[in-house]
């Protein structure tokens, strides 16, 4: 399925199906700080185009104090959140995510938090007819990880 929407002089393209190694290098998460009920960090755009609507998967995994005898239910959770602002090439945007309070005071162990970029929308500048003839371009690209 190919969908592109012309907005002024800009083509907005949803990104899915891009090679995972390319995808993982274009938009990354850095400077992550995680607590028991919150996580924050920076989404960095390393691509050549503006991106927006960066979708993040936050895994708040519980590591049992004794992995050989874990409890009946893991208090770990996973969450999706979206960084909606436009991020220019080479720029970054801060995100903060508040997680629901998880009751673990009587359970020995700790949380490990990881964040993955699972999708984003790329904003690709429109080109003139002359530019298209000189160097054809793809105005629709999809990127989404398959994890």
Q: What does the alpha-carbon distance between residue 101 and residue 26 come to, in Å, rounded to a whole number?
A: 33
Within the chain, where are the H helices?
20-26, 129-134
Does residue 114 sit within a domain? yes
Does residue 141 sit within a domain? no
Residue 22 lies in domain? 4-134
Total count of domains within the chain = 1
- Residue 76's pLDDT is 83
Q: What does the alpha-carbon distance between residue 105 and residue 109 come to, in Å, rounded to a whole number?
A: 9
In percent, the amount of the chain with pLDDT more than 90 equals 37
Cβ contact 5:11 at 8 Å = yes
Cβ contact 54:102 at 8 Å = no
Does residue 142 sit within a domain? no
Instruction: For 130, list phi and psi in degrees, rounded to 5.
Output: -65, -40
Max mean pLDDT range (31-35, 40-44, 107-111): 40-44
Q: Tell whether the model's pLDDT for residue 96 goes beyond 50.
A: yes
Q: Tell whether the model's pLDDT for residue 140 goes beyond 90.
A: no
Mean pLDDT value across the chain: 77
- Residue 25's pLDDT is 82
Among 10, 1, 28, smallest CA distance to 122 is for 10
Q: Which CATH number does the domain housing residue 115 bear?
A: 2.60.40
Does residue 147 sit within a domain? no
Confidence of residue 37 (pLDDT cuts 50, 70, 90): confident
Nearby residues of 143 by Cβ (< 8 Å), 6 or more positions away: 15, 16, 17, 18, 23, 26, 119, 120, 122
- Residue 100's pLDDT is 82
Q: Tell whether the model's pLDDT for residue 135 goes beyond 70.
A: no
- Residue 79's pLDDT is 93
């Amino acid at each position: 399925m190919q969908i592109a929407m012309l907005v002024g002089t800009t083509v907005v393209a949803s990104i899915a199906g891009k090679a995972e190694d390319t995808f993982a290098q274009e938009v990354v998460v850095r400077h992550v700080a995680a607590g028991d009920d919150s996580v924050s960090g920076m989404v960095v755009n390393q691509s050549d185009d503006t991106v927006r609507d960066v979708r993040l998967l936050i895994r708040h995994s519980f590591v049992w104090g004794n992995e050989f005898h874990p409890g009946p239910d893991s208090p770990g959770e996973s969450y999706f959140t979206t960084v909606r602002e436009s991020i220019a090439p080479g720029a970054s945007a801060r995100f903060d995510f508040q997680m629901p309070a998880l009751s673990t005071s009587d359970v020995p162990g700790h949380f490990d938090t990881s964040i993955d970029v699972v999708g984003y929308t790329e904003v690709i500048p429109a080109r003139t007819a002359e530019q298209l003839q000189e160097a054809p371009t793809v105005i629709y690209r999809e990127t989404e990880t398959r994890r």
